[in-house]
Structure formats: structure tokens, C-alpha cells
Structure 1
Amino acid sequence: MPAPYVLNQDAMGRYCGMNVLEHAGPKGQIILEKIPEAIWFSSARDTVAFTMLPDEPKEIAAIYVSDMGKAPSWERPGADNWIDARKAVFVIDSRVRGGMGAEEAVPFSSEEAAQAFIAKNGGRIVSFADLPETYILGAGGESYDGAEAPGGHDHG
């Protein structure tokens, strides 16, 4: 499996087309088997959505998301604290919103860190394989298509 890339100023979100660093919350990157560069996502939820959408490439070599248990803060989720999304535990249905006002699937490398997050913010733990497609692709704020929820983050 290829190593994750370090998040930098050149990272543009696959679905929003904006600089990934402009958004708070967990980020994601996907590396395809035949393309040796990262596809960046402004949220972990968008990263997972890529894997569920029928029109996106399926030759995925690696899927990485921010380990929010090791993140400096929600606003600065870190440039190099990546974890394999397939091994992460995710908190869904929490009170915390992603960088563009959407519901977020918040990734952690440990269940203990996820439980600490739940104690403060609510939610429940699911594995990558058990992330509900309705939650990831649903209308909980901005979804993968770039539509924005009222009161969401505006780059106007």
C-alpha cells in the first residue's frame, strides 16, 4: 500500500474544488493504483463517498483519513496524522459538523479516542465497512455533490 501524502497548500478538494486547508475537521486522500498522486477531500465523509459512488474509479490502492485522536485541534486536523480508513473507527451522528457545515464521519485510530469524543459531542461508533450509505451520501448538510446547507461555510 502506498504511503500517505503530507497535506499541503496545493491540496484541492475533489468535490468542492477549494483548498482543503480552508476547512476545519478531518480530511481524506485516496491514491489510485495507476495514478501516483493523492486525490484530496475536504472531509472524511467525502472521502468515503468517493468509494460508494458508482462513477468514481474503483482501482483504489489506499484510502487515508485524518486521525482526529492525534489532531492538534478540530480547526487544524494535522498534515501527516493519516490512518488507513479501512482500519479506522468512525463516529457518526455527533453534534460536530465538518468544515462545510455537513454531518461528518469523524475518524479515529482507537476506540478509546472515539469514546472520548462521543462523551463530549455525542454520536456512535461504526467501522469503515459499516458506515451507512444513507449517512455518507444523504442530505445532512453538504454532500459529495458540493451542495451547501443553509448556514454552511460560504466562500462567496
Structure 2
Amino acid sequence: MNRSKLNWLLAILAVLTLTACSDSEEQATAKPAPVHFESGDECHVCGMAIGNFPGPKGQAITEKEQQVRKFCSTKDMFAWMLQPENVNRDHTLYVHDMAQTEWEHPDDTALIDAREAFFVVGSDRTGAMGPTLASFATEDAAHNFMMEHGGQVLSYSEITLDQLNTGMAMGEMPGAHEMESSSTGHTMDH
């Protein structure tokens, strides 16, 4: 084999190796898709049958092992996720977008990334464990729900374990979005 053919062969081999490595990295960092809630699924926190209760549900998928944990309510998902041993682990979290599904039987086609969602706390709607955090893909949808059912709008990062554990009245949660009236309607401050 002459030297120029050998150089071409080595160049092609190098390109293929680099391409294979980048494909593997992309697959390793790709976010896992949500899974459907099945009849008989039990909540990872309380053991209750998930399908027997209304309101948004949650799920956590560990990115390394692809292990799925399902929760009967968004409140239980946060209670688990915010534990010291879980808070810094890589998880993909999903919740139902309640603007896209009915409260009594949420549809799994409406699962959204929990870290990008907005939550209404302290509303008059209940879930599996009583008060729950109604989840929405947009702040506007959360605001509309809040106007009808009460409560306050929080982003994912504003929800803390202390708030869940103390039983603090939802209306007293620090960092909650405040409502202001204006002549053109209602707006939220961040």
C-alpha cells in the first residue's frame, strides 16, 4: 500500500472514530423521555396507587441508570427530590401540564419538564395527599389557574424542602410571586 493511500485510510479512520465518540456523548447526555403511568403503579414515597387519585403526578428518571420513580402527586415528587441525598443527583423530572389535561385523570401526553414548569401552591384543588402543587408549562397558564382557584405561582427553583416539611400555609411561602393590579390587568413580579 503506498503512503498516500495509507494517509487517506488513517484520516478516514480518525474521522469515523471522532464521529462515533461524539454520537456516544450525545446519547449519554440526551434527556430520557417520560414514561406512562400504568394501572397498579405505586408512589415511590407513600406507596399509594397512583391512578386512584386526581391532580398532577410526577416522575424522576435517574439519568445514569435510567431508573424511573413515579409519584402520586407533585408534592411527593418534590419531597423526594429535595432530600439531601437526591437534590444534587442528575434526574430528569416530569410533571403534568394541567393546562393540557383534566384534573381528575391527567393524560400522560401532557408530561413536561418539571424544572421548566410553574407551580401553583395553596389552591383550592387537591391531589393524592391533599394540597398539591398544580403544574403548568407556562407562567400565564399558572396565573390563569391561580386566578380561578387561588394560591400563588412559584417556579421550580423557588420550592424548598423546608416549605414542604413545615406544613407552612402555602400563602405564607417566601419567594412566592406577588400579584399587582394594573389598569391593563394583572401582572406578576419576579
| Superposition TM-score, scaled by structure 2 size | 0.67
Q: What SS is found at the alignment partner of 2:108?
A: coil
Q: Which structure ranks higher in relative contact order (CA pairs < 8 Å, sequence separation ≥ 6)? A: 1
Does structure 1 retain, via aligned residues, the 8 Å contact 2:61–2:67? yes
More moved, 92-101 vs 53-62: 53-62
1:57 Cα deviation after fit: 7.3
Separation (CA, whole Å) in 2 of partners of 1:46 and 1:52: 10
Out of 82, 93, 117, which is 1:63 matched to? 93
Measured against aligned partners, the alpha-carbon deviations of 1:39-97 in whole angstroms (never above 9, x if no partner) come to 000001111111211244743330111111111x2111112211111100111121222
Answer yes or no: is 1:21 the counterpart of 2:51.
Answer: yes
Distance change (3 Å), C-alpha of 1:95 and 1:134: farther
Alignment of 1:11-90 (within 5 A): 11-56=41-86, 58-71=88-101, 73-90=102-119
Distance change (3 Å), C-alpha of 1:11 and 1:57: farther
Separation (CA, whole Å) in 2 of partners of 1:97 and 1:135: 17
Does structure 1 retain, via aligned residues, the 8 Å contact 2:45–2:80? no
Does structure 1 retain, via aligned residues, the 8 Å contact 2:43–2:49? yes
Q: 1:144 maps to what in 2?
A: none
More moved, 130-139 vs 80-89: 130-139
RMSD: 2.0
Matched residue type, 1:86: R
Percent sequence identity is 33
Out of 117, 120, 124, which is 2:145 matched to? 117
Which consecutive residues of structure 2, in runs of 5 or more, have no partner in the other structure? 1-30, 169-190
Separation (CA, whole Å) in 2 of partners of 1:50 and 1:11: 17
Out of 127, 133, 146, which is 2:161 matched to? 133
Matched residue type, 1:123: G
Q: Looking at CA atoms only, which structure, 1 or 2, has the larger radius of gyration? A: 2
Answer yes or no: is 1:95 the counterpart of 2:124.
Answer: yes
Separation (CA, whole Å) in 1 of partners of 2:133 and 2:163: 9
Separation (CA, whole Å) in 1 of partners of 2:134 and 2:149: 11
1:117 Cα deviation after fit: 0.8
Q: What SS is found at the alignment partner of 2:51?
A: helix
Does structure 1 retain, via aligned residues, the 8 Å contact 2:54–2:126? no
Larger relative helix fraction: 2
Matched residue type, 2:92: A
More moved, 56-65 vs 41-50: 56-65
Out of 34, 43, 53, which is 1:4 matched to? 34
